[in-house]
Amino acid sequence: MRGETRIYLCGAHSLAFAAFHLAFWKLFDWPAALRQTDVATRAVTQILNLRLIYVFLGVAALCFWLPGELLATRLGHALLAGMALFWLGRLVEQFVFLRHNKLLLRVLTGLFVLGAVPFALPLTPWAAT
């Protein structure tokens, strides 16, 4: 698989997670569920989710519009490494904060791995660009 194709897959992954996070209000019934928390928790939860959506959309845009730069520059490599670490960290946090054996959580765990690997793969010496 060509390097640019891998970067497009990273962009698709980021775009999918942006869409997933956009659905949080409905998926987790946030209007009702967050009403039970204090104002600060309610606000911070929604603000952080909106910022994550912004980051995912930004990364997707970079992957779709500048794949060559992500593959060939130190700044591009830094962004790819940062996103690989983001997904690796999210994978670890899954086991720390969500200690439930449910199918949805196992699927999410796999999706976090699918985030870390494609972002890291272009950085490996054996990956052909």
What does the pLDDT profile of the chain (129 residues) look like in tens digits?
688 999 999 999 999 999 999 999 999 999 999 999 999 999 999 999 999 999 999 999 999 999 999 999 999 999 999 999 999 999 999 889 988 888 888 898 999 998 899 999 888 877 654
Let me know: does 87 contact 115? Beta carbons within 8 Å: yes
CA 94/CA 99 separation, integer angstroms:
7
- Please report, for the chain, the start and end positions of each structural domain, with discontinuous segments joined by +: 3-123
